[in-house]
Structure 1
Amino acid sequence: MAASDIDAAAKAADVEYDEYRQQPAAVAALGDIDEVPKNYYYSPRFIGTGFAIGINLLASTGGFAMIAPILGEIDASIGPGSIIWLSLVYTMMLAVGLTLVGQMSDVFGRRYFFIGGTLLGAVGATIASRAQTIPVAIGGEVLVGLSAATGYSYAFVIGELVPMKWRFLANAIIFWGSMPTAGFGSAISTAFVLYTEQGWRWAYYLLIIANVTAAALYSLFYFPPSFHQKHGADTIMRWVKNYDYIGMFLYVAGLLLFILGLSWGGSIYPWKSAGVIAPVIIGFFCLVGLMVYEAKAKIAEPLVPIHLFKNRGFLASAIVLSLGASVYYSQAIVWPSMAANVYSNGRAMWAGWAGTLVGIGITAGEIIGGTLAKHIGFFKYQLLVLITISTISLGAMTTCTPDTPKTAMGLVFLATTAVGWAEAIVLPACNICIEDQNEIGTATGIAGSMRSAISTVASTIYSVVLASRETTTLSTVVPKALTKAGLSAPSIEAYMAAVAAGETATDLGKISGVTADIIAIGSRAYQVAYADAYRTIFFTSIAFGVLALICATFVPNFDALLTDKVATQLNLSGKEVTTPANDEKV
C-alpha cells in the first residue's frame, strides 16, 4: 500500500473517531436538586430501587462472607477437591466484573445489566446448591462472583441518583441492607451447617432468594437513563462496533492471569514453579500493555480512561480504598480461624459468632462513616485518624494470648470499624472527585477492581506468612509441650496426625500414653502455637497500615464538591419519551 493510501485511511479513521465522540448525549450535565420532581425521593420507583440495591448488595456480600467460613464442610460433603477455588474464583470474577459493569453500563445504560446480573447470580447459586462435586460448585461460584459485580456497584448506582452532598448518607443506608450477610454471614452459614438437614446448601438457597428478589425489584422500579436517553438518536450497533475490545481483552486476560498466579502460589504450585511465575508475569505485562494502549490509541470510549489516573483525588482515594480492603479480606480469613483455633475450645457455634466481628465491624464502620463523615468534614484528617486507630489496634493484637479472648475481640472490632469508616469516605470520593459525572460507573468500577486486585495481593502475602509461621510454631511448640508431659516420640507423631485429621478426644485417648491430662496439655500447646503464628500476621499488618497512612496524605479535602448537584434521575414513568424539538429520545 502506498504512503498516500495509508495517510488517507488514517485521516478517514480520525474523522470517524471525531464524529463518533461528538454524538449528542441527552444526559450530559449535572442537574440541581431543585430540578428534581416533587416527592421524587419518596416515590415508589426511588424507594423500590433503593431496596433493590440493598438486597443486591446483601446477595453479593453473601457470595463470599457465607461461603468462605464453611469451605471445610463443603469439601467434606462433596469433596475431596480443590476447595480453595470456591473462594478464589469469587474474588477473581468480582475484580474483573466491576470495571466491565461500571464502564459498559455508563455506555449502554444500567437497567438490563443489573437485572441480568442478579439473575446470573441466582443461576450460579442454583448450580452450586445442587452440586455433587467440587468442580460443579466452583462453576456455580464463578457466576456468583460475576453477579457480585452488580451488588458491589452500589456506590455509583445510588450515588448518581442523589445530590453529591447526600452520597455518603445514601451509601450508609444501603449498607444496612448488607448487614445480614456482610456482618453475620459466618454465624448464619455455620448455623445452616449445624442445624439444618441441607447444611451448607442453605447458604446458596439464601443467595437464590436474595438474587431473585433483587432482580424482581430492579425490573419493577429501576428505570435509569437508557441508551437512547444517553446518546440521543445514535444507534447501539454503532457503539458496539466501536467498543474497546482490545482493551477489554488485555484487561480481562491481564487481571485474571495476575490474580490466578498469585492465588496458585504456595497452595497449588510452589512459588518458584512456572505455574506461578508465568501467569503472574504474563498478566503483569498484559496490564502494562493495557495502560499503554489506552493512553496511545484513539478509542471512542476507552475501557480504562487514563485521565482518571492523573486525577489525584481519584487515584489517592482508590489506593486507600484498596489498602483498607486488604485489611478486611485478610482479617476475614485470619480472624475466624484464629477465633476457632485459639479461643473456641471446640465450641463451633461460638467460633461462628466470633468470626462475624470482622464483617460487623466493617459494615458498622461504613454505616457510621456514611452518616457522620460529611458533618465532620476535613476528610483527609478523618482518614489519618481512622487509619492510625486501625493500625495501632491490629498492631496491639500482637500482645494477645490464648487467655485474652475479650481483648482480641475488642481490638479486631475496633480496627475493622475504623477501616469501614475510612472506606465510607474514600469510596464515594472516587466518584465525587472525578471531572465528568458521566464516567461515574467507569471510575467507581476501576476503583473497585483495584480494590479487589490489591487486596488479593495483600491476602496472598498474609497467607504465605501465616502458612510459613504455622509450620514452624506447630512443629516446635506442640512436640516440646508433649515431650515435657512425658509422651513418647511415636505417640507425639500419632497425636499430631490425629489432631490434623480432626479426630475427637475419644479417638486421641486411644493413642498409647495419651490421657485426659495429656489431651489438655496438647490442646493448650496448640492454642499457644497458633497464637504465636497469628502474632506474625499482625506485625505484617502494620506495614500495610503505614502505607495506607502515607497514601491518605494525598487525598484532598473535597468538601467544596459536596453540592446540591444530581448526576441523573430515574424515569418515573418507566417509558422513554421524545423531545419534539429534535425528535431524539431523552
Structure 2
Amino acid sequence: MTDTVFEKSHSEHVEQASSSHDGSGHVANIGTDAHGFTADAEELPKGYYYSPFFLGTTVAIGLNLMGSTGGFALVAPVLGQIAVSLDAASSVIWLSLVYTMGLAVGLTLVGRITDTFGRRWFFIGGTALGCIGAIVSSTAKSINVLIGGQVLVGLSASTGYSYAFVIGELVPVKRRFIFNAIIFIFSFPTAGFGAAISTAFILKTSAGWRWAYYLLIILNGLTAILYGVFYFPPTFHQKHGKDHVSKFLRTFDWGGLFLYTAGLVLFILGLSSGDTLYPWVDARVLAPLIIGVLCLIALFVYESYAKLSQPLIPMEFFRNRGWVASMLSLSLGASVYYSQAIVWPQMTANVYAEGRLMWGGVVSSVVGIGITLGEIIGGGFAKHLGHWKLQCLTVITLGTLFLGLAALCKPDTPGMAIAFMMLATTFVGWNEALVLPICTIVIPDQAEIGTAAGVAGSSRSAISTVASTIYSVVLATRTATELGRQVPAAVIRAGLPADSVSAYMAAIAAGAPESLLSKVQGLTPNVIAAGTEAYRYAYTDAYKTIFLVSLAFGGLAIIASFFIPDVDHLMGGKVAATLSGREKEKYTDRTA
C-alpha cells in the first residue's frame, strides 16, 4: 500500500453499491466510489452549508471539543485544591490518570465502532455520559466518587477529540483544514484559558473547583441536545442496506477489543503510577506495565494473522508510510504539549508568580493558548501555503527550537520565558493542525476515516503518556538534586544554623505554614529572602533540563516529518459523508 493509492480522477464514476461486502469488508447502501467518497462538492444540496443541520452540527462538534478539553484543562490546574477539599493528597493524581486512560481507549473504539454502526447515537450517548460524569463529580463528597465521575468524563472526551473525522467527513477534502480551524476556535476558552478560568473559580466563587464540573455539565448537556436535534449522518442501514446489526455484532473483532482495552489500560496505568503512586520496583507498577505490553504485542500479532472481517485496527494503516509518519509527528508533538501542560504551570508558580495567584493562573495558560492558537492558524493557512512536508518540517523545527531556547531563561526573565513558550507551543499546535487531517486524507478508504483518526488519536495519548512519564522522572530527580545542592548552602550563608536546615526545608516543602516556620531556630528575614531566591534558581535549573530533554522528542518529530507526503493531489472536492436531515425536510434554496 502506498501513499498515492487513490490518485485517480475526481470524475471517477460513483456507483450504487448493493447490500453486500466489498473486498475490505465494508458494506454500503449509499452511493460510494472506490475510495469511500459519496459525492462531489458540486453535488451537495443547495444550502447544505447554511442549513440548520450543518450549522447545528458544527456548533455541536465545537462545544463537544470545548467540553472534552475542559475535562483535563479545567481540572488539572486545581488538583491541589481538590486534594485539600477532599483530604485526598495521595490519590488525587487518579483524576488525571483515568482521564488519560479513558481518552486513549475511547478514541479508537469511537472511530471504529461508529465507522461500522453509524455515529449519531454514539455521539448523543457519549456527550450525555460526560454530562452524567460531571454531575457525579460536581456533587462528590469523597475522592473515590470524584474519580468515578472523572472516568465517565474521560470516556466522553473521546467524542470531542474525534472532531477531525466528524467534521472532516462532512466537507470536501480541500476544506478539512479550515473547518478544523473553526472547531478549534470553540475550544479556546477551555483549551487556552483553562488554568486561568479554574484559578478564577477558586478565587471568586464559593463552590471553588466544583465550578469546573458545573461548566462541563452545561457544555456536555447542550452538546447532547444539539447532536440530537441537528446531527443526522449516515445510519447503519444507509451504510449496510438490509443487513442486520446482529450480523455485524457476531463478526465484530471482540478479541481485538479485549486485547486493545486491557493492554492500553494496563500499560498506561503502570506507566503513570510509577514514582507517583508507587515505586518503580513495586509489583503494582511492574505487573500492569508488563501485562499491558504483552497484551499490546498480542494485539498486533492477532490483528495481523487472524482472519477478521472487521479488524479493530486495520494493519494496512501501519503499512501506509504517510499515515505512520503523520501519526508519529502528531504524537511526538503532543508529547511536548502534555509535558509542558504539567511543567510550565509548576515553573510559573515556583519561579515567576511570587505569590500572585491570578497572575500565575493566567500565565499558566500560555501553553494552552499557544497550542490552540497554532491549531487555528495552521488550519486556516494550511491549504494556502501548501508544500505539506516542508510546512510540517518548518513548524515542528521552529517549535522544537523555541522550546529548547527556553532553557536560557532565568528567574529574572519571565518575559523571555513566556515569549519562548508561546512561540514554541504555537508552532507545535500548527503542526498538529496539519498532521491530524493528513492522517484522514492519506488512507485509501474514506469509509475508515473514523478508525484512521481514532487510532492516531489513541497513539497520540499513549506516546504522550510515555513522554510525560520520562519528563516527570527527570524533573523529580533534577529538582531533588538542585534543591539539595543550592538551598542549604544559600540559607547557611544567610545565617541559618546548619542544624536548622532540615527543619527549614521540611517547612517549605509543606507550603511554609507559620506553625512550622516558627519552629525553625535561627530563621530571620534575610534567611527567608535568601532561601526564596535559592528555591527559584534551583527550580529554574531543574526545569532547564526538561527543556533540553524536549529536544529529543522534537528531534524525533522532525525526523518523522521527512516522511510526511505532499497531499496536493488529494485536496479535491470529494465528500466522504453528508447530513441527510430529518426525513422529508428540505434544505433552503441558498446555494452551498
Normalising by structure 2, what TM-score? 0.93
CA distance 1:296–1:187, shift in 2 (3 Å)? same
What's the offset of the Cα at 1:506? 8.6
Return the alpha-carbon distance in structure 2 between the equivalents of residues 179 and 36 of structure 1.
31
What's the offset of the Cα at 1:505? 6.5
Match of 1:44 in 2: 52
**C-alpha RMSD of matched pairs (Å):** 1.7
Return the alpha-carbon distance in structure 1 between the equivalents of residues 512 and 287 of structure 2.
39
Q: Give yes or no for the alignment of 1:526 onto 2:535.
A: yes
Q: Give yes or no for the alignment of 1:28 onto 2:36.
A: no
Select which of 44, 65, 68 maps to 1:60: 68
Match of 1:478 in 2: 487
Match of 2:164 in 1: 155
Moved more, 80-89 or 213-222: 80-89
Match of 2:434 in 1: 425
CA distance 1:25–1:247, shift in 2 (3 Å)? farther
Moved more, 288-297 or 566-575: 566-575
Conserved? CA contact 1:509–1:516, under 8 Å: no
CA distance 1:275–1:479, shift in 2 (3 Å)? same
Conserved? CA contact 1:17–1:300, under 8 Å: no
Q: Give yes or no for the alignment of 1:110 onto 2:114.
A: no
Match for 1:44: what amino acid? P
Q: Where does the alignment leave 5 or more consecutive residues of structure 1 unmatched? A: 1-15, 578-586
Normalising by structure 1, what TM-score? 0.94
Match of 2:478 in 1: 469
Percent identity between the two aligned chains: 60
**1:13-44 Cα deviation digits (max 9, x unpaired):** xxx99999475442533210111001100111
Question: What is the number of residues matched between the two proteins?
Answer: 562
Match of 1:561 in 2: 570
CA distance 1:166–1:24, shift in 2 (3 Å)? closer
**1:358-382 Cα deviation digits (max 9, x unpaired):** 0000000000000001100011111
Return the alpha-carbon distance in structure 2 between the equivalents of residues 23 and 535 of structure 1.
54
What's the offset of the Cα at 1:297? 1.2
Match of 1:13 in 2: none
Q: Give yes or no for the alignment of 1:363 onto 2:372.
A: yes
Q: What does 1:57-206 align with in structure 2 at a 5 Å threshold? A: 57-80=65-88, 81-206=90-215
Select which of 353, 363, 384 maps to 1:375: 384
Conserved? CA contact 1:17–1:298, under 8 Å: no
Return the alpha-carbon distance in structure 1 between the equivalents of residues 183 and 347 of structure 2.
30
Q: Give yes or no for the alignment of 1:240 onto 2:249.
A: yes
CA distance 1:481–1:27, shift in 2 (3 Å)? farther
What's the offset of the Cα at 1:356? 0.3
Q: Give yes or no for the alignment of 1:253 onto 2:257.
A: no
CA distance 1:197–1:574, shift in 2 (3 Å)? farther
Conserved? CA contact 1:27–1:230, under 8 Å: no
Return the alpha-carbon distance in structure 2 between the equivalents of residues 436 and 205 of structure 1.
40
Return the alpha-carbon distance in structure 2 between the equivalents of residues 369 and 33 of structure 1.
23
What's the offset of the Cα at 1:413? 0.5
Match of 1:332 in 2: 341
Return the alpha-carbon distance in structure 2 between the equivalents of residues 266 and 365 of structure 1.
33
Q: What does 1:196-345 align with in structure 2 at a 5 Å threshold? A: 196-345=205-354
Return the alpha-carbon distance in structure 1 between the equivalents of residues 144 and 185 of structure 2.
34
**1:248-302 Cα deviation digits (max 9, x unpaired):** 0000001111111101111122212322222222111211111111111111111
Conserved? CA contact 2:57–2:227, under 8 Å: yes
Q: Where does the alignment leave 5 or more consecutive residues of structure 2 unmatched? A: 1-19, 587-592
CA distance 1:19–1:416, shift in 2 (3 Å)? closer
CA distance 1:255–1:59, shift in 2 (3 Å)? same
Question: What secondary structure does 1:345 align onto?
Answer: coil
